[in-house]
């Protein structure tokens, strides 16, 4: 019997992999760290623990989105506003 949370975990992995393309240290660095994090938890079978790990992954997604938004905001600010003295 397949785990019903398997699809959710795969979806999380794909979303993180997609977001990691623009990571400041490079996509290869992010991909390696992501793979090691998922491989570290590959033997977890408890549904409650899997849900906690997926929730943590969702938190990481939100943090990455905030990081990218802030980076884009700073770039726009540099282009259109004079430097503060």
pLDDT score at 2: 56
3-state helix, strand, coil in the chain (%, to 5): 75, 0, 25
pLDDT tens for 8-39 read 999 999 999 999 998 889 999 999 999 999 99
Cα–Cα distance measured from residue 10 to residue 3, given in angstroms and rounded to the nearest whole number: 12
**The pTM of the whole model exceeds 0.85:** no
- Number of domains forming the structure of the chain: 1
Look at residue 83 and tell me whether its pLDDT is greater than 80. no
Task: Tell me how far apart the alpha carbons of residues 85 and 82 are, in angstroms, rounded to a whole number.
Answer: 9
State residue 82's pLDDT score: 76
Domain that holds residue 56: 4-81
């Amino acid at each position: 019997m397949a785990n019903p949370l398997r699809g959710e975990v795969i979806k999380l992995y794909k979303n993180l992999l997609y977001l990691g393309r623009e990571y400041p240290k490079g996509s290869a660095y992010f991909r390696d760290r992501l793979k090691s994090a998922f491989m570290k938890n590959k033997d977890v079978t408890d549904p409650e623990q899997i849900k906690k790990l997926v929730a943590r992954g969702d938190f990481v997604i939100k943090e990455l989105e905030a990081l990218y938004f802030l980076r884009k905001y700073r770039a726009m600010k540099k282009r259109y506003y004079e430097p503060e003295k």
